[in-house]
Amino acid sequence: MGLIVQKFGGTSVGSVERILHVADRVIEEKNNGNGVVVVVSAMGKTTDELVALAKEMSAQPSKREMDMLLTTGEQVTISLLSMALIEKGYEAISFTGWQAGIQTESIHGNARILNIETDRIQQQLNEGRIVVVAGFQGSTEEGAISTLGRGGSDTTAVALAAALKADKCDIYTDVTGVYTTDPRYVKEARKLLSVSYDEMLELANLGAGVLHPRAVEFAKNYQVPLEVRSSIQREEGTRIEEEVSMEQNLVVRGVAFENEITRVSVLGLPNSLTGLSTIFTTLAKNHINVDIIIQSMTQEHTTNVSFSIKSGDLTDTMKVLEDNKQLLNYQGVEAESGLAKVSIVGSGMISNPGVAAEMFDVLAKNQIQVKMVSTSEIKVSTVVEEAKMVQAVETLHEAFELAGTTIKL
Ligand code: ADP
Ligand code: ASP
Ligand code: MG
């Protein structure tokens, strides 16, 4: 007998009918003779609605209380799905994150999983029950309830699959797999049959919201066989695995994008050995996440540094820079919002020089100005005007020949 972890996202459990349908898919797996652990998200847009509710109480709600509130969403789904399974004649039991033994760091809002005590789940599996676990939550050493960051139910599922040494982890969602780019934006996007862990990690980190980046990290570190597939359509999904076959080894496998990016430029910094480290240490100490960094030498004694941040962090960033003006000793600060990051990803880039050049060429021919660039062995990211983001994605998707048959959502 095998062990399968299945995860169903918000849309897939968005109504009573959908939960009943999910129950049938769980039962199918059970009837195949497998032990089944099911991870579910909150129904539909519940988490967004809970966030909005909290904002009515406080502009900056207590992070502890926020976690207490948001975790209720998943608690509704686990109990309803378990009831449905029991009603259909199967033994099932629901567990919240702490009941499932998921222990996290002692922080709220974006905690990492540190350990999973699997005894309680294992015992239920041994007794033949289907175990239904609340996604996106755990508990801290102090016994507080924590959450794993938005979209974190994927991570719950993969982490459980790793801890339980499951044979497979299936992520059921509202698209039929991982596409060459977000099919909601580009109708020519094509489903990929397989993607390597490294490519998927880049895609997820660069904005492809189909998988939570930490879920991919877990899958890679523990070699969990992972598949993204549709909860409605019955077709093969996308396998995320160590190696992908040669014939599919396109130079560029996908285009990812992210909006609401701001470029901050700190002008006239003293041209000293420690200038750079002081500015970025100060930002890091204040929990400002900096992405792309560009330093340009201007005159003999001063230098300018630009970096990109999420636009939501702009107010905090400006405050940190202002509060530390004396220490950093700069002459001025400029910020440009309304930007987006557009990236191409593919392991084939390692052995194909000139991919970045081709990307810049395509963007230039389409009158899209590149404002910042960052590269790794398997990706090139550019910052462009947000108004041109979708155009940039579409033209790159076409230029790197990613289009295929149109697939309806
Ligand atoms: P769930 O609620 O099931 O976790 P998500 O909304 O988190 O679902 O993720 C699925 C969504 O990810 C899709 O509806 C799609 O719009 C988006 N997405 C972004 N990039 C991609 C991509 N490369 N391939 C497939 N879907 C993508
Ligand atoms: N319900 C949470 C969210 O909306 C977690 C998840 O769906 O993965 O972010
Ligand atoms: Mg998701």
Instruction: Give the pLDDT confidence of 99-140 residue by residue, as tens digits.
Output: 999 999 999 999 999 999 999 999 999 999 999 999 999 999
- In the chain, residues under CATH classification 3.30.2130.10 are 255-399
Determine the Cα–Cα distance for residues 155 and 97; give it in Å rounded to an integer: 12
Q: Give the tens place of pLDDT for each residue, 36-62.
A: 999 999 999 999 999 999 999 999 999
What end-to-end distance do the CA atoms of the chain give, in Å? Answer: 34
Q: Is it the case that residue 362 has pLDDT exceeding 80? A: yes
The pLDDT value given to residue 248: 52
Architecture of the domain spanning 255-399: 2-Layer Sandwich (3.30)
Answer yes or no: is the C-beta of 152 below 6 A from any ligand 1 atom: no
The pLDDT value given to residue 406: 37
The whole-chain average pLDDT of the chain stands at: 94
Mean pLDDT of all residues in 357-371: 97
Determine the Cα–Cα distance for residues 204 and 211; give it in Å rounded to an integer: 6
Determine the Cα–Cα distance for residues 181 and 175; give it in Å rounded to an integer: 12
Residue 153 Cα, ligand 2 centroid: separation in angstroms? 6
The pLDDT value given to residue 43: 98
The pLDDT value given to residue 287: 87
Angle, CA 259 vertex, CA 183 and CA 214 arms, to 5°: 75
The pLDDT value given to residue 300: 74
Whole-structure pTM value: 0.93
Architecture of the domain spanning 3-174: 3-Layer(aba) Sandwich (3.40)
Answer yes or no: is the C-beta of 138 below 6 A from any ligand 1 atom: no
Determine the Cα–Cα distance for residues 81 and 40; give it in Å rounded to an integer: 9
Pocket residues: Cβ below 6 A from ligand 2: 9-10, 41-42, 47, 73, 135-136, 150-153
Ligand 1 pocket mutation, candidates 175, 191, 397, criterion most atoms within 8 A of CB:
175
Q: Between residues 359 and 405, which one has the greater pLDDT?
A: 359
pLDDT category, 66, cuts 50, 70, 90?
very high
- In the chain, residues under CATH classification 3.40.1160.10 are 3-174
Closest CA to 131 of 266, 29, 279: 29
Q: Is it the case that residue 77 has pLDDT exceeding 80? A: yes
Determine the Cα–Cα distance for residues 349 and 89; give it in Å rounded to an integer: 52
3-state secondary structure 66-112: HHHHHHHHHHHHHHHHHHHHHHCCCCEEEECCCCCCEEECCCCCCCC
Mean pLDDT of all residues in 374-403: 96
Residues 109, 67 contacting (CB under 8 angstroms): yes
Give Rg (Cα) of the chain. Answer: 23
Residue 149 Cα, ligand 2 centroid: separation in angstroms? 8
Q: What is the DSSP string of 299-340?
A: SSSEEEEEEEEEGGGHHHHHHHHHHTHHHHT-SEEEEEEEEE
Q: Is it the case that residue 397 has pLDDT exceeding 70? A: yes
Residue 92 Cα, ligand 2 centroid: separation in angstroms? 23
Question: Which residue lies with its CA nearest to atom 5 of ligand 2?
Answer: 151
pLDDT category, 270, cuts 50, 70, 90?
confident
Determine the Cα–Cα distance for residues 359 and 343; give it in Å rounded to an integer: 9
Residue 350 Cα, ligand 3 centroid: separation in angstroms? 29
Mean pLDDT of all residues in 329-346: 97
pLDDT category, 249, cuts 50, 70, 90?
low
Q: Is it the case that residue 265 has pLDDT exceeding 90? A: yes
Which residue, chain included where needed, has tokens 């059970």?
A: 30
The pLDDT value given to residue 408: 34
- Cβ of 324: how many Cβ atoms within 10 Å? 17
Mean pLDDT of all residues in 76-86: 98
Q: Is it the case that residue 245 has pLDDT exceeding 90? A: no
Q: Could you give the percent of the chain with pLDDT greater than 90?
A: 89
Residues ≥6 apart with Cβ < 8 Å to 60: none
Residue 382 DSSP SS3: strand
Residue 45 identity: K
Answer yes or no: is the C-beta of 208 below 6 A from any ligand 1 atom: yes
Residues ≥6 apart with Cβ < 8 Å to 144: 64, 67, 106, 108
Task: Tell me 348's DSSP state.
Answer: G
Determine the Cα–Cα distance for residues 136 and 10; give it in Å rounded to an integer: 12
Q: Is it the case that residue 162 has pLDDT exceeding 70? A: yes
Residues ≥6 apart with Cβ < 8 Å to 56: none
Residue 47 DSSP SS3: helix
Residue 335 Cα, ligand 2 centroid: separation in angstroms? 31
